[in-house]
Structure 1
Amino acid sequence: MDQQARRWLLVASIVGALAVVLGAFGAHGVPHYLEGQGFEGENLAKRLADFETAARYHMYAAFFLVAAALVADRQPTCKALLLACWSMLVGMLLFSGSVYAVALVPDDLRGTFGAIAPFGGTLMIVAWASLAVAARRKSTQSTQK
């Protein structure tokens, strides 16, 4: 496997492991934490749903990065693929990170963190579009055969 592909596979593995850890925390620790902070009813349910959304998109990013690493092994010099990987990583950090925060912070800070999420979401869209461009590009290995 190409060095760049191995690097992105390592990043994908770390991102995926953290998604599982945070998902488990969301299922087991976050409800108790939020109840301890005085949240209940619809407010509690909304925050738990927000945390679950963050964890889900966090895991989607891990799957994306695994797929991109596999493509990178065939196309190690593809700039669109590099853009896709970095866009997904930064987009995931901004989107999921801000949505995790929105679920956990007091009401007066929710808007601040919530304003960051669209930037992360936009970068994740850029990542998918860039992956499509990379997928349309012929593999450098197949043209060298």
Structure 2
Amino acid sequence: MTLNRTLAVFAALNGAMAVMVGAFGAHGAGPAIKTLLTTGAHYQIVHALLALACAVWPLRSRLSDIAGWLAVVGGLVFCVAMILTGREPSFGAVAPVGGVLMIAAWLLLAFAALRNPPSRA
């Protein structure tokens, strides 16, 4: 198994950001933005874990690497859109871009898993 070190680093950084955003949402944000921050942090942490899984995927391929990067970028775009929507509602229109990237990451990883069945030893 080979590790995609760069993807693992970005996945970990996304995870750290998700915890920071979630903590701010829980302890420092006003009620109007609290739900947005909680939602953004939740999606980002889940997709940081997906990206980390892609970084260590046993059948690592170009498809699993792309799926990991889609998860990293999608989670980041979605979370940042949620943060900015609290200040400027028009940024809510950016959130679906992150959502589409996250969905594509899951679908691409499923395709990668089907394309490369485990070898029988």
Q: Same fold (TM over 0.5)?
A: yes
CA distance in 2, matches of 1:82, 1:49: 31
Q: Indicate the structure with greater helix content.
A: 1
Offset, 1:8: 2.1
Partner of 1:35: none
Aligned partner of 2:27: which letter? H
Structure 2 gap ranges (5+): none
- Give the Å deviation of 1:139: 5.9
Instruction: Please state if 1:75 is matched with 2:54.
Output: no
1:48 counterpart = 2:31: no
Tell me if 1:87 matches 2:65: no
Give the aligned partner of residue 104 of structure 2: 126
SS in 2 for 1:18: helix
Give the aligned partner of residue 60 of structure 1.
46
Residue aligning to 1:22: 21
Distance apart, 1:134 and its partner CA: 1.3
**Distance in 1, Cα, partners of 2:79 & 2:42:** 9
CA distance, structure 2, for counterparts of residue 59 and residue 120 of structure 1:
13
Deviations along 1:43-68, one digit per CA (max 9) or x if unpaired, are x34x2111110110011111111221
**Unaligned stretches of 5+ in structure 1?**
32-43
Structure 1 or 2, whichever has the larger Rg, is: 1
TM-score after normalising by structure 1: 0.73
CA RMSD of aligned residues (A): 2.0
SS state at 2:111 partner: helix
User: Does 1:110 find its partner at 2:89?
Assistant: yes
**Count of aligned pairs:** 121
- TM-score, normalization by structure 2: 0.86
